[in-house]
Every structure is written in C-alpha cells, then in structure tokens.
A = this chain, B = another copy of it.
Amino acid sequence: MAELNGNLLVAQSGGPTCAINASIAGVITEAGKHGCIEEIYGGLNGILGILNEELIDLGDEKRSAIEGLKYTPAAALGTCRYKIHFVSEEKIAAETDQKKKTSLQKKRDQALKDMDRLFEVFQAHNIRYFFYAGGNDSQDTSHKIHQEAERRGYELRVIGVPKTIDNDLPFTDSCPGYGSVIKYCATTVMEVGIDVGSMATDDGSVCIIEVMGRSAGWIAAGTVLAKRGNPANPPHLILLPEVRYDREEVLAKIKATVDAYRYCVMVVGEGIRDSEGNEIGADPTKRDAFGHPLLAGAAWKLKDLIEERLRTKTRTVLLGYAQRAAAHCASLTDVQNAFACGEAAVKAAVEGQSGYMVKIIRSVEDGKLKWSTGLQPLSEVANVEHFVPTEWISPDGFLPNEKFIEYAQPLIEGEVRAPIEGGLPKYVTLEKSRVEKLLPPRA
C-alpha cells in the first residue's frame, strides 16, 4: 500500500461519554508518530462543524491538554445530534403516501448536498484521514462517507471509532464509555442502597433509580455489579428495555422484596415496556431530533403505581446526563480501551485500511484477561443494534445472571484519578485555534 500523505480530521458525534476524549487523545497521539499525516485537525461539533468548515488545529494544542483528554468528560471537540439522512432510491420508490414521499425526497436531496459539501471541505483542506467517534448513527455516516469517497475516486481513509454508553454497537466486546457509566451507576446504586437500607423500618420503602438506555438495557443491567454476589444487596430488581413486564408481576416482586428486606431498591432503564409493548415512561407528545419519542418518566410512573397500589413510600433518582459525564468515577479499563481504539484507528488508516470500525476484543492469556483491538467492516456494523442477550437475563426477567456479571465485571476495573484543584476535578479545555476557512459559507 502506497503511503498517503495529507491531513487528518477527527470529530465526535452524539451524546458525549467520559471516555470519548480518551479516544481523541489516542488518535492525536498515534497520528503524531506518522510522517504521512501532515496536519491534525478536529471538526467542531461533529459533522455539523465540518459542513460549516469549522476546523481546529489540534497540532497547536499543548501536550498536557492532550494528556488531560484522557480524564476529561464530555466532547472536547464539541458534538452534535445532526444526522445526514441517507435515503435510498428504493425506499422513495416504494413509498406510496405522496406527502411522505416528498419528505423522503427532501431528505435525500439534503443528504446529497451535505455529502457534496463534506467532500468540498475534505478537498479544500486536503483531508486524507477521517475518524469519527460515535454510536450507531455515526458509524452509518462513516460508512456512507467511505463509500462516497470510493465512488468519487477521492483517496480518503475512513475509520469509525466506537463510542456509546449504551453499549449497543455490534461486534465489539464493549463500547468505550460503557465501562465508566456502569462503574458510576453501580457505585451510586450501592451507595443509595446502603442509605435506603439503613433507614428501613417496618413501614417499608422503595427507591427507583432510572438510568439511560432507550432500547438496550446494558446500563441498567450493569448495576447488578453493586450486589457483589449477595442476593440481599441492592439492586433487588433491574428492569430492562429488552423484556416485557407485566405490571402485576412487577408489583408482586416489589412487595415480596419489601416483605423480605423492609426495602426495595430497583433500577429501571428509561425505555422499559409493559406486557403490551408500550413504553412505560414515554411522552408521546414529544420527539427528539431523530424522531424518537422522548423518554424520561419510567421511574415516576412506577412510583405512582407503587404508592397507589402497595401504599409504600417510594423515592426516585434520575441520573440523566450525570451518568455519562461522571469522569470522577470513570473506569481505567474503559478509558484505556477508548484510548487504544483511537490509536488503532490511526494505525489501520496509515496501513491503508478504510471502511472499518475499530472493535475491542477480550481474550484470556495465561489465565489473565487481555484487551486488544480489531477491525470490523462498517457495512456490517451500521445500524445494527446489539441487545443484552436473553440467556444473560434471569428467567423472570428481573435480574441479569452470572453470565452477564462475568462479562461486565472486568469493564469497571481500575480508577482514573484526575488532578484535583480546590476540591474539584481539574478537567482540560482545548485552545481550539481555528483553521482558516478556504470555502464560501455552506449554502
């Protein structure tokens, strides 16, 4: 494979995690080792910033800032929810409703315009290496960019870097960000559990902790680690979006738990569904930028149900954004894997690969767990969701089992200790020196 000289562009997409910056640090660090990579640019706010030609010169950043990215949460380059809506001609042809057909055509036209603009920016800045860290949608975008580069005969090496607290990308052992979010959530569930347990009286009480996870229950499931092998320890119930729950059975299980322990600490994924398949916490009147219904009320609705039916005092905790930003409680294993994914992406691209996502691989060597990385074709990854396997969940659906624990435990090992200043973690902010714009503004 001939050496490809040119500039590198890296960007972040979707909801941040506390390990995504470690992947960027991995990209920058590895890129610095290869002479063929001339400039190292970052796209501000993901694909949106690239479309607007808002690039920053990462080569200008201090080495200490790059180092600090390993323990700094959120998206240091900025991120976005903007999505290029790729619509196939087949889908448009098959649509019989004229209004919907027009809407699909509009999306296709916008995607074509966006793609043209992206390649204008790539060409103007001689971008030859493109890395995009994100979840399912972002891997799909990377795949389309890779295909488009081939179609245009524009020499570009595209590698997707996995990122999502949801842990729902296929093929990779786990997704950078996931180990940290479950370390924080399990710590929180354990602490809340001890607290609620220490207040338990004969009156009984319930505490519901709602965590993220629209369709995959990986985060909720991960809090099972707080049990540390003791069935009496919280969480006593974990409700996953993968399972359908009968309300009466859930109530009976909560009652049995309160009867046994005088309290019940339960964890619910935001997207849990009842036996009819309806989302328990959905607000049907609101939708996010991707058209998914906004979820935020599963814990509240369950609280009302429990207080009405069981007459047991119920409190809720809604961790929301706090869980994915909690770098103060990040997993070292997770952050190291995230960094390795960034490095591996650059290595693969320099070696001539394109159209792949980096994946994390676990293996056992001399009885010791070993982490490494591999590559998976983006064509196989894009838009495939990976759920908690049924065989990792107890038959009644109320707790992940030993197989899940064996999988999840290694992901939370090790602590990341950010420097502390004035009693608070000292995270880094990038200088973000702008790369001069060479194009007219986006139409």
A residues within 8 Å of B by Cβ? 15-16, 18, 45, 48, 72-76, 78-82, 183, 186-188, 190-192, 194-201, 207, 209, 225-226, 228, 286, 296, 300, 307, 315-322, 324-329, 331, 409, 412-415, 420, 422-425, 427
Are B191 and A327 neighbours in the complex by a CB distance under 8 Å?
yes
CA gap between A436 and B172 in the complex, in Å:
58
Which residue of B is nearest A75, CB measured?
Answer: B198
User: Using Cβ atoms and an 8 Å threshold, which residues of chain B touch A16?
Assistant: 195, 198-199
Are A322 and B317 neighbours in the complex by a CB distance under 8 Å?
yes
Are A321 and B415 neighbours in the complex by a CB distance under 8 Å?
no
Are A225 and B423 neighbours in the complex by a CB distance under 8 Å?
yes
A434 CB to closest chain B CB (Å) equals 17
A171 CB to closest chain B CB (Å) equals 25
Are A15 and B199 neighbours in the complex by a CB distance under 8 Å?
yes
Most chain B CB atoms below 10 A, which of A300, A326, A414: A326
Are A315 and B319 neighbours in the complex by a CB distance under 8 Å?
no
Are A191 and B413 neighbours in the complex by a CB distance under 8 Å?
no
Nearest first, the 10 closest Cβ-Cβ pairs linking A and B are A412-B423, A191-B325, A195-B325, A317-B320, A74-B198, A318-B318, A74-B194, A75-B198, A74-B195, A413-B423
A70 CB to closest chain B CB (Å) equals 15
Identical chains in the assembly = 2
Are B73 and A195 neighbours in the complex by a CB distance under 8 Å?
yes
Q: A423-B412, A425-B187 are in contact. Are A201 and B45 (CB under 8 A)?
A: yes
CA gap between A48 and B201 in the complex, in Å:
9
Are B198 and A78 neighbours in the complex by a CB distance under 8 Å?
yes
User: Using Cβ atoms and an 8 Å threshold, which residues of chain B touch A318?
Assistant: 316-318, 320
Are B427 and A422 neighbours in the complex by a CB distance under 8 Å?
no
Are A424 and B199 neighbours in the complex by a CB distance under 8 Å?
no
Q: Which one of B73, B194, B425 lies within 8 Å of A325 (CB-CB)?
A: B194
For the complex with contacts A191-B326, A225-B424, 9 further pairs of A-B residues with Cβ separation under 8 Å are A15-B199, A74-B191, A79-B199, A80-B199, A188-B322, A192-B321, A195-B321, A296-B315, A331-B423
